[in-house]
Each structure stands twice: as structure tokens, then as C-alpha cells.
Amino acid sequence: MSEDLEIQLIKKAQSGDVSAFETIISSYEKVIYNICLRMLTKEQDAYDATQEVCIKIWKEIHNFKGESKLKTWIYRIATNQCLDRLRKTKNRQEISLFQQGENEDEEWIIDKPSEQKNTEQIVENKALQDVLKQAISELKEEHKVIIVLRDLNDYAYDEIAEILNISLGTVKSRISRARLALKKILEQNKEPYKSFFVKKGNKEGKL
């Protein structure tokens, strides 16, 4: 969708045009669902949250002033909706394995497995993704959201700063700490852990 068309649709939606709003949502619904699924982990919860986000966007579209990109505004709503759900449904144990000052200067990145055609490799990758999904669910909320936005959805640092309404420096700090926290959780399961993390700047060297 072109920027000019999107602006036109926003203005129409702000005037109560349901058809224009549905066109906007159709462009973002899939990524909204993916964010919700990665943060909430359960498909039904992600589906419900996606519907809640769409309703909230409809109710708040008249407040959109164009001070940020529409997608940034929408992703902020989706992220906050998921955080609200997590806070309201704390039926899991909160796990925080990050300790201030430990290996802070050593950065790590998630090495996401590429798509494989071999059946055995597909099964193995599915198992690894399940391990990663479980590990992410054990992160603190602020660590979880930063991992989802940066490492799983590949948003730029400045986009994350806008979505979370925090400074660029805070984004970088949280990403570093979130990755270390995730690394520590994954270390509890040595084999899958080796497949996910590599040293930054040394893509060939597995741990």
C-alpha cells in the first residue's frame, strides 16, 4: 500500500468509513497476530488479542495525528495490549536470570535457523523453535517484548524506541540485557542453546 493511499484511508476511517478501516486492518492484521503469538505463545490468546487490538485501533483511529508512522502506532497498540494481557494473567512463574554487571560487554545475537527442505532438519528446527518459544515465555515482560520486536520481527532500534516510547539508549540497553537473560535460560538446555546463539561478529563460531 502506498503512503498516499494509506493517508487517504486513514482520513476516511477517521470519518467513520468502515470499509477504509477494514482495508487498513487487512494490511496489518497478519503482523499484529504474529506479534501477539510470539508474546502470548498460545494461538487462542493471540487470536483474541488480535481482535482486541483491531477494536482498539478502530476506537482510537481518530486520535492518530500522523506524528509517527501508522504501522508504528499500530504496533505500539498491539505490544501494549499483549503486555496488559500478560499482567492480568500471571499464572506462570516469573523468571529473571539476568544479573547486573555479568558479561555486559559481551553481545550475543540469535542465530535463527534457516528454512530446510530435508524432513529430518525440519523436525529438528521445529523442536529448536519450541525450545526458543518456551525460553522467551520465561523472560520478564520488558525483555520479552524487546526480543520479539528486535530479534523475531527485525524492527530497527529507532522503530522500537517509538513503539515502546523509550529512548534509543534504553532500547540498546534492554536488548543487550534481554539477550543475556534469554541466553542464560537457554543454557539450561545445552544442545538447543548451541544452535541459537553465536558470538556477534563471529557468525561461523558456534558456542
What pLDDT was estimated at residue 77?
Answer: 93
Average pLDDT of the chain to the nearest whole number: 76
What pLDDT was estimated at residue 101?
Answer: 33
Task: Tell me the pLDDT band of 107, cut-offs 50, 70 and 90.
Answer: very low
- Return the domain boundaries, the chain: 3-88, 108-199
Say whether domain 3-88 belongs to CATH 1.25.10.10.
Answer: no
| CATH value of 108-199 in 1.10.10.10, 1.10.1040.10, 3.40.50.12280, 3.30.390.30 | 1.10.10.10
Residue 199 reports pLDDT greater than 60: no
Could you report the per-residue pLDDT of 113-172, keeping only the tens digit for each?
A: 454 445 555 455 566 677 777 888 888 888 888 888 888 878 888 888 888 888 999 999
What pLDDT was estimated at residue 16?
Answer: 92
What pLDDT was estimated at residue 125?
Answer: 59
Contact 144, 150 (CB under 8 A): no
**Alpha helices by DSSP H, 62-203:** 70-88, 119-137, 141-147, 157-164, 168-187, 190-196
Looking at per-residue pLDDT, the higher value among 29 and 119 belongs to 29
Distances (CA, A) of 134 to 166, 188, 202: 27, 12, 26
> Which of 116, 147, 154, 119 lies closest to 133, judged by CA?
147
Q: Of the segments 105-114, 125-134, 172-181, which one has the largest average pLDDT value?
A: 172-181
Looking at per-residue pLDDT, the higher value among 206 and 50 belongs to 50
Task: Tell me the pLDDT band of 50, cut-offs 50, 70 and 90.
Answer: very high
Residue 93 reports pLDDT greater than 90: no
3-state secondary structure of 165: coil
What pLDDT was estimated at residue 204?
Answer: 39
What pLDDT was estimated at residue 158?
Answer: 87
Could you report the per-residue pLDDT of 76-92, keeping only the tens digit for each?
A: 999 989 888 887 765 43
